[in-house]
């Protein structure tokens, strides 16, 4: 596969603040790459540099082998950037909005009409073509943002929190749209805090924290790397704190934490039989309401990695 996005020791400083530190990232053609990290980790900074909106302090970033900062005019036709906010276009209707941006790419005449109609159809916004942009819901505005960046048929999509603050239906619609763009052969870099959706969408992920890249590669490899032992999810009818203390002192238990009213019991790597957990709890008078082995996923892997458990 051809390399589409590559950064080498990419660094961005704001005075004494280091937003990015020696970021080395490789994204290949047709990858859907999930960029994950806490707020302030450097995700948006990275995307803005790749979108040619920020200059790095040092290091290098390339898109399709063009160097950002030196060949930005060659890069911009190749990319579509969707930020995590939507600008104000109070007096425009949807059709005018898309025609305006098509004109900035010198798409004129019949060609402009076609690309606007195609973008509206792909994003399922055709019935809103005469609606005021400012009157659209947030989910529709996000889809309109994607319609805008598709007008010039870019090879690379840079999406910063496209599903942020969307209601469940709008998030599902956004996910299906992104899957369609994958099938069209787009290379996608997407940042998001909604990890189950990234696991469903992406073939690779990057984990960034405090400006440093902790992991980059297939998310299945991340799960293997971070899975230190069997995790059992359980719930008791009452006295949860006492149950946690009891289990934390049992041989074979590595760690006990809470999650949405349940206890997560992480067993030592060699322990597979967890029948002792209900036995100990029942013997001490606890009423169990839930007991199941938790399957490893991107969320649990992210929590393990960013807590510093994996070296």
Predicted pLDDT of residue 57: 96
Residue range 3-218, CATH number: 3.40.50.300
Predicted pLDDT of residue 301: 84
Return residue ranges of the chain for CATH 3.40.50.300.
3-218
Predicted pLDDT of residue 193: 85
> Which residues neighbour 127 within 8 Å (Cβ) at sequence distance 6 or greater?
none
Among residues 32, 27, 39, which one has the least CA distance to residue 193?
Answer: 39
Structure tokens of 82? 């969707």
Return residue ranges of the chain for CATH 3.30.70.100.
228-295
Q: How many CB atoms lie within 10 A of CB 270?
A: 8
Among residues 235, 236, 272, which one has the least CA distance to residue 252?
Answer: 272
Predicted pLDDT of residue 307: 62
Bridge partners, 156 (sequence order): 79, 187
- Full 3-state SS string of the chain: CCEEEEEEEEEEEECCEEEEEEEEEEEECCCEEEEECCCCCCHHHHHHHHCCCCCCCEEEEEECCEECCCCHHHHHHHEEEECCCCCCCCCCEHHHHHHHHHHHCCCCHHHHHHHHHHHHHHCCCHHHCCCEHHHCCHHHHHHHHHHHHHCCCCCEEEEECCCCCCCHHHHHHHHHHHHHHHHCCCEEEEECCCHHHHHHHCCEEEEEECCEEEEEEEHHHHHHHHCCCCEEEEEECCCHHHHHHHHHCCCCEEEEEEECCEEEEEECCCCCCCCHHHHHHHHCCCCEEEEEEECCCHHHHHHHHHCCCCC
Predicted pLDDT of residue 90: 74
Predicted pLDDT of residue 2: 93
Spatial distance between the Cα atoms of 235 and 292, rounded to a whole number of angstroms: 10
Predicted pLDDT of residue 310: 46
- β-pairing verdict for 32-36 and 187-191: parallel
Tell me which residue has tokens 């006492």: 242
Residue range 228-295, CATH number: 3.30.70.100
Predicted pLDDT of residue 207: 95
Q: What is the pTM of this model?
A: 0.82
Structure tokens of 39? 């707020």
CA 156, 159, 161: angle at the middle one, nearest 5? 165
Spatial distance between the Cα atoms of 311 and 305, rounded to a whole number of angstroms: 8
CA 152 to mean position of chain CA atoms? 24
Q: How many CB atoms lie within 10 A of CB 139?
A: 18
CB 298 within 8 A of CB 205: yes
Q: List, for the chain, all residue ranges whose pLDDT scores fall below the cut of 50.
A: 308-311
């Amino acid at each position: 596969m051809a390399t589409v996005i590559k950064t080498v020791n990419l660094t961005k400083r704001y005075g004494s603040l280091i937003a990015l530190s020696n970021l080395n990232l490789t994204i290949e053609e047709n990858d859907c790459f999930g960029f994950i990290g806490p707020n302030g980790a450097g995700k948006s900074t990275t995307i803005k540099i790749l979108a040619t909106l920020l200059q790095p302090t040092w290091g290098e970033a390339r898109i399709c082998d063009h160097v950002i900062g030196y060949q930005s005019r060659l890069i911009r036709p190749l990319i579509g950037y969707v930020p995590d906010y939507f600008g104000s276009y109070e007096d425009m209707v949807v059709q005018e909005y898309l025609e305006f941006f098509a004109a900035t790419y010198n798409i004129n005449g019949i060609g402009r009409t076609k690309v606007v109609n195609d973008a509206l159809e792909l994003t399922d916004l055709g019935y809103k073509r005469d609606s005021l942009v400012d009157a659209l819901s947030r989910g529709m505005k996000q889809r309109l943002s994607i319609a805008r960046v598709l007008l010039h048929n870019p090879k690379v999509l840079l999406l910063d929190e496209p599903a942020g603050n969307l209601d469940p239906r709008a998030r599902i619609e956004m996910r299906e749209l992104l899957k369609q763009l994958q099938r069209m052969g787009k290379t996608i870099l997407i940042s998001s805090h909604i990890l189950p959706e990234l696991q469903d969408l992406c073939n690779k992920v990057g984990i960034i924290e405090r400006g440093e890249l902790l992991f980059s590669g297939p998310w299945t490899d991340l799960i293997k790397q971070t899975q230190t032992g069997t995790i059992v999810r359980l719930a008791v009818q009452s006295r949860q704190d006492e149950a946690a203390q009891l289990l934390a002192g049992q041989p074979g238990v590595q760690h006990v934490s809470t999650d949405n009213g349940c206890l997560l019991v992480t067993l030592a790597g060699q322990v597979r039989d967890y029948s002792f957990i209900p036995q100990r709890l029942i013997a001490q008078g606890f009423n169990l309401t839930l007991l199941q082995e938790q399957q490893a996923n991107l969320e649990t892997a992210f929590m393990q990695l960013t807590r510093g458990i994996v070296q």
